[in-house]
Copies of this chain bind each other. A is one copy, B any other.
């Protein structure tokens, strides 16, 4: 087993102000796959923004039922007609090549060529994204409408790719808290030259990282940001981190499909009632909250039988949930900065809730305390809502034992849990409640 660990940045370096769409422009053209140099360059660009630790897992390593594939790299690929015109050219789009194509060079008949072409009849303008990681193939993907330009009976095919022992690469960043407990924010590194699936999750997590660090919050928990190839990368990650996560993970979230204009959704963990679920649900109480379902992206692996880590999912459209999914039309037009940032904002609210939550027990028994004595209530009675803080204090006192935690009180009050922190501190000072 080979581990390569290195820091791109020192953890002490300052974080530059991000221009999120500039980062997008750098990441979009890279030919990302579950392994290879496109993936490494992707992690390098992320590492320019936040201090990243890279772990590589070697080809052929067995991870549960899966085996890490050979590393795939590609430098050039095209299909030419007899006149030497390039009818398909990798230079035009990374999606033109069937990902993980074997190398190939030579003339083929039209019939043979067509058996290696992938198009979408009902989306004639779109290049589909197709891969063949676990079976040896070569092929090209193209717009269905272009098939009519293949009028010759023979074509020259050139695929300058390599499949060789190498590794898959996983990037991780940390923001440290005061306890051993950990919160994981996970996104997969995804596919080449598509915007929503999957640059959006990477971009939203970069925003979260910056905002969390700049918040100067005193953190109880360690925050682990994971940028990982989908499924096989997740298998490798889980193989090497399972016992640590089983012991320390108090909440985890996958963050993907965050750039489109569908409403943001929170999908609960399989357990459905973890601390992570409670924090996210409070943050998302005006949004869509869904029960766990066994389909989706990497969140399903974290929730598999016998793994069952408390990992929920933030997403908008989700896999297969929008027409442009897995095609060249999943480009800059499918995402917006606003969607990326507002996703990050809900993740931040979830983090603030995790940090703010406390178990609360009411200790003052009897009639409502007279809070104007403590200058918390105006002595001028002139209306109902004259003091938000005092109302929050009284609500925490009255609901404490029944609801048991700051988040559940906040849910009942239809407020953000983290907005109740000051009131909780005051309620404790006034000996109305205690934290247990």
Q: A35 near B: Cβ within 8 Å?
A: no
Residues of B within 8 A of A326 (CB): 382-384
A276-312, CB under 8 A of B: which get 1 and which 0? 0000000000000000011100001101111100000
Q: CA separation between A95 and B372, bound complex, in Å?
A: 23
Question: How distant is A404 from chain B, measured CB to nearest CB, in Å?
Answer: 13
A65 touches B300 (CB 8 A): no
Q: A47 near B: Cβ within 8 Å?
A: no
Q: A380 near B: Cβ within 8 Å?
A: yes
Q: A365 near B: Cβ within 8 Å?
A: yes
Q: CA separation between A116 and B398, bound complex, in Å?
A: 35
Question: Known contacts A395-B295, A402-B270; is A304 also within 8 Å of B368 by CB?
Answer: yes
B64 touches A383 (CB 8 A): no
Contact among B305, B325, B382 for A365, CB-based, below 8 A: B305
Contact among B128, B303, B307 for A382, CB-based, below 8 A: B128
Complex interface residues of chain A between 349 and 366 (CB less than 8 A to chain B): 362, 364-366
Count residues of A near B (Cβ-Cβ below 8 Å): 61
Residues of B within 8 A of A413 (CB): 293-294
Residues of B within 8 A of A238 (CB): 367
Please choose the segment from A9-17, A79-87, A130-138, A204-212 that sits at the chain B interface, where 4 or more of its residues have CB less than 8 A away: A130-138
Q: A129 near B: Cβ within 8 Å?
A: yes
Q: CA separation between A394 and B99, bound complex, in Å?
A: 25
Q: A400 near B: Cβ within 8 Å?
A: yes
Residues of B within 8 A of A64 (CB): 366-368
Question: How distant is A178 from chain B, measured CB to nearest CB, in Å?
Answer: 32
Q: A150 near B: Cβ within 8 Å?
A: no
Q: A391 near B: Cβ within 8 Å?
A: yes
Contact among B131, B301, B401 for A368, CB-based, below 8 A: B301
Residues of B within 8 A of A369 (CB): 65
Q: CA separation between A278 and B63, bound complex, in Å?
A: 39
B134 touches A379 (CB 8 A): yes
Question: How distant is A395 from chain B, measured CB to nearest CB, in Å?
Answer: 4
A393-411, CB under 8 A of B: which get 1 and which 0? 0110111111000000000
A104-135, CB under 8 A of B: which get 1 and which 0? 00000000000000100000000011111111
- Closest chain B residue, CB of each to CB of A391: B295
Contact among B135, B303, B362 for A379, CB-based, below 8 A: B135
B398 touches A305 (CB 8 A): yes
Q: CA separation between A306 and B361, bound complex, in Å?
A: 13
B366 touches A304 (CB 8 A): yes
A198-232, CB under 8 A of B: which get 1 and which 0? 00000000000000000000000000000000010
A306 touches B365 (CB 8 A): yes
Q: A179 near B: Cβ within 8 Å?
A: no
A133 touches B381 (CB 8 A): yes
Question: How distant is A273 from chain B, measured CB to nearest CB, in Å?
Answer: 13
B367 touches A304 (CB 8 A): yes
Question: How distant is A208 from chain B, measured CB to nearest CB, in Å?
Answer: 26
Residues of B within 8 A of A270 (CB): 398, 402
Closest 9 CB pairs of A and B: A306-B365, A320-B384, A64-B367, A135-B379, A294-B398, A130-B382, A294-B395, A131-B381, A319-B384
Given A131-B381, A135-B379, output 14 extra A-B contacts at Cβ < 8 Å.
Answer: A64-B367, A65-B367, A65-B369, A65-B370, A130-B381, A135-B372, A135-B380, A235-B367, A238-B367, A294-B394, A305-B362, A305-B365, A305-B397, A307-B365
Interchain residue pairs with CB less than 8 A apart (13): A64-B368, A128-B382, A129-B382, A130-B380, A132-B380, A238-B367, A294-B399, A305-B362, A305-B397, A305-B401, A306-B364, A306-B366, A320-B384
